[in-house]
Structure 1
Amino acid sequence: MHRRRRVALAVRSDLAIEDQVTASGATWLDRQAVARDPVALGQAGFGAEVRDAMDRRAGQLIEQGLAER
């Protein structure tokens, strides 16, 4: 008999990752950028997409004078 592994999934944002890059107000990407214990991200697929979006989000916030590197 094979045991099925259970996976829990929680929605943390109603905005798509791409939409969070230019969104007004705090986003899940912002929370991840400053989190003490951020979500572990893979090097490919969704993890790579999130890393790229976080980098572009940081650029947007820097352009607006809301963040610095």
Structure 2
Amino acid sequence: MRLIKIVVPEIVAYFVQGTEAPEPEYNCTCGMGVAKEYKCCPYCGAELAWGQVKKPSKEFSKMLERL
């Protein structure tokens, strides 16, 4: 039997390129950057719980629209 660590990725930045919609950048709790396509962290092996990622607040979303 093997224990599997499950972590919730956190938004650490938003990447804006030209006029495209800003895309969030995520980190695992170990500090490694992870993409939405990842099922687990490539560094620590923890399973990523994408369904539990917090959405940005309305105020933050409005601020991003102004950029």
Superposed pair shares fold, TM > 0.5: no
| TM bracket (short chain) | under 0.3
- TM-score, length basis structure 2: 0.26
Which protein is richer in strand relative to its size? 2
Between structure 1 and structure 2, the one with the greater Rg is 1
Higher-helix-fraction structure:
1
